[in-house]
Amino acid sequence: MKTIQWYPGHMAKARREINEKLSMIDVVIELLDARIPVSSQNPVIDELVQHKPRLILLNKTDLADPKQTEHWKHFFERQGHAVVEVNSQTGQGVKKIVPACQALAKDLYRKWESKGMKPRALRAVILGIPNVGKSTFINRLVNKRQAKVGDRPGITKQQQWIKVGTSLDLLDTPGILWPKFEDQEVGFRLAATGAIKDELLDYGDVAAFVLRYCLDVYPELIKKRYQLDDDIDGEDMGSLFDEIGRKRGCMLRGGLVDYDRTAELLLRELRSGTIGRITLERVPTPE
């Protein structure tokens, strides 16, 4: 697979606009996909936000392996970040956001108090890669439809300020991907969860990556969903696609398996959680 490069003009513009607004921001909120926490963490954001207090939200926890989500939460806390688990669809964890931002801004409150200033609403910026669920999360947070929502990356095209009650002003930003992914597995994970537009990668390659990973880490979920034998050969992708395609009716004329439909089915069922709660990367082992 070639190095993935995807840096549309609106993303370069978004990065520039975020940089321009940072001087007035008190807290940075970073939304990550709980299924791929590091792969969905944009390294450009580290360069942008530098020493600003950061709240990490692990989103889509309903689709992720709960044990792995707990491991990832501790991982980011050890790095010095506050972490909240959220589910934008149900609203789980959303009520914790404003208090978490206020806790991160305690030094700022002390500064205002020492100068005899009346506290104003905190200003936070929310950052995340495309299709991480940012717009759905914001609508949950403000309890109304403020941000456009879609199931494909790149819905938010421009910045907008959104009031969250009287205590928080939130700057919404377009999702930003970085110019290229040196680690090809990062590209596969982003493609598997829908963060990269589907037409940029081959469905078959991404589905094969998911199958190999799940047969290694979550074999029972895959075998149960697709009625595979216990002695199935996880290295023989052709036979695996044949068996899944036949059992799920993804067929062409002449009795041949439609590999494209089989791959599409697998990715659709991964993204919806139909296969089960799956996390596609593990916390790094300390060296």
pTM listed for this prediction: 0.87
Residues 139 and 56 grouped into a single domain: yes
The answer to the question of residue 88 being in a domain is: yes
Structural domains of the chain, count: 2
Query: Measured between alpha carbons, how far is 97 from 65 in angstroms, rounded to an integer?
Result: 22
Confidence of residue 89 (pLDDT cuts 50, 70, 90): confident
Query: Measured between alpha carbons, how far is 34 from 248 in angstroms, rounded to an integer?
Result: 29
* Structural domain harbouring 210: 202-272
Residues 24 and 131 grouped into a single domain: yes
Residues 38 and 165 grouped into a single domain: yes
CATH number, position 149: 3.40.50.300
Residues 227 and 98 grouped into a single domain: no
The answer to the question of residue 280 being in a domain is: no
Residues 265 and 133 grouped into a single domain: no
The answer to the question of residue 44 being in a domain is: yes
Residues 157 and 252 grouped into a single domain: no
The answer to the question of residue 136 being in a domain is: yes
Residue of 86, 120, 85, 126 lying closest to 105 (CA atoms): 120
Residue 252 has pLDDT above 50, yes or no: yes
Question: Looking up tokens 């799956």, which residue turns up?
Answer: 278
The answer to the question of residue 33 being in a domain is: yes
Query: Measured between alpha carbons, how far is 184 from 2 in angstroms, rounded to an integer?
Result: 8
133, 149, 180: which is the final residue of a domain? 180
Q: pLDDT of 154-208, one tens digit each?
A: 444 467 899 998 999 999 877 777 766 778 899 899 999 988 877 767 889 999 9
Residues 176 and 235 grouped into a single domain: no
The answer to the question of residue 279 being in a domain is: no
Which carries the bigger pLDDT value, residue 65 or residue 15? Answer: 65
The answer to the question of residue 285 being in a domain is: no
The answer to the question of residue 191 being in a domain is: no
